[in-house]
Chain A
Amino acid sequence: MAKQDWEKWFKVLLIVLAAAALVIALGAVAVVYFAVKDAAAAADAMARLKVVLSYEILILTFFYGLMVLLYMASGKIDLSMLLSEPKGNDAQGKPLYGASMSRYQLLIFTFVIALSLLLIIIANGAKKFPAIPSEILVLLGISASTYAVGKGIQSSGDGGSGTTTTTVAPHPAGGSSITTVAQHPAGGSTTTTVAPHSTGGTSTTTSTVTPPPGTGG
């Protein structure tokens, strides 16, 4: 099946599911409204409403989660940079990216704790939510803090990764022109050219500033 067909089919499915969820919710309200005749019936209706709403929330949560999963699997939610962080620029001034240990360790600990919790819930027959010891909360706190602090250092520091290139070339009007390209650590560059004037005598200076990517110019 072509990708466009798949996306079209998926959108229709989502609309159908949303409509079905709305119909179920309205149906539940209608059942409760028409079932209430006296105080005993009202208490019974409330109990039924709780059950219906519990199923409703379960279904909604499942389909929201499923949508995110399907978008992740199809690539619409791009995960390619999940572990990446900027690591300076290349010779052309394009930002370089590499895998980040702080992101990686946060991913590992999140999955390990989530899977452990799930395993314990299943093993105990889902009778109650397991208690979480303070050491585990501290572990997750340390892991997340490392990620946050690492991100702060990355964005505020990295002052030394910029590069400057100077080129001296013969100019058609005689003499030489000097071009300096300064690559900024955050991306983008400043190009300065000093060249002799075409009529001789005074030199001209031209500066071109390219903003870092993602700054909107």
Chain B
Amino acid sequence: MDLLTTLATIEIGILVGGFFGIVVYKLYSGEISMAGLLYTKEPGGRAALSPVRLQLLIFTLTVAAHYLGKVIANPRQDSLPSLPVSVVAALAGSQAVYLGGKVVSAYIQPLLKIQR
């Protein structure tokens, strides 16, 4: 059974690593487009830098990097490391702000445009 466990670990490593590698390569080469990630379309059709998207990007990358760093620093654990509830709540808030911005640009701005 030890051989089976080792093989299963190698298999999962190859598959997860492969998926990760392909996505990262395609992001790097531009095959997966990241154009407009931080931009939103304004009522006039003009693209503008969106602070709402920027804050979500910063929160996401910070939490993800912090978490991965925690795992790399001490991988010999019985469970995945936990995150403080305050961090999860902050991230939830950040995502709520992003969704709020999306609602404004999808529903509120068109209404204002019609009223003008």
Contact = CB atoms under 8 A, between A and B. Distances in A.
Contact of A120 (B33, B39, B71): B71
Interface in A9-43: none
A116 B68 contact: yes
Given A111-B20, A132-B80, A150-B99, A99 B33 contact: yes
Interface in B1-28: 1, 4-9, 11-20, 22-23, 26
A101 B80 contact: no
Nearest to B34: A99
B41 A139 contact: no
A126 B92 contact: no
Contacts of A161: 41, 45, 110
Nearest to B20: A111
A61 B98 CA distance: 38
A60 B97 CA distance: 44
A149 B99 contact: yes
B4 A55 contact: yes
A130 B75 CA distance: 11
Nearest to B85: A135
B34 A133 contact: no
A157 B107 contact: yes
Q: Give chain A's interface secondary structure class.
A: helix
A189 to B, nearest CB: 15
Nearest to A163: B45
A159 B113 CA distance: 10
Interface in B33-64: 33-39, 41, 43, 45, 53, 56-57, 60-61, 63-64
Contact of A101 (B31, B33, B53, B114): B53
B11 A61 contact: yes
Contacts of A113: 80
A157 B113 CA distance: 14
A58 B7 CA distance: 8
Interface of A: 51, 54-55, 58, 61-62, 65-66, 69, 72-73, 75, 79-84, 87-88, 97-102, 104-105, 107-109, 111-124, 126, 128, 130-133, 135-136, 138-139, 142-143, 146, 149-150, 153-154, 156-161, 163
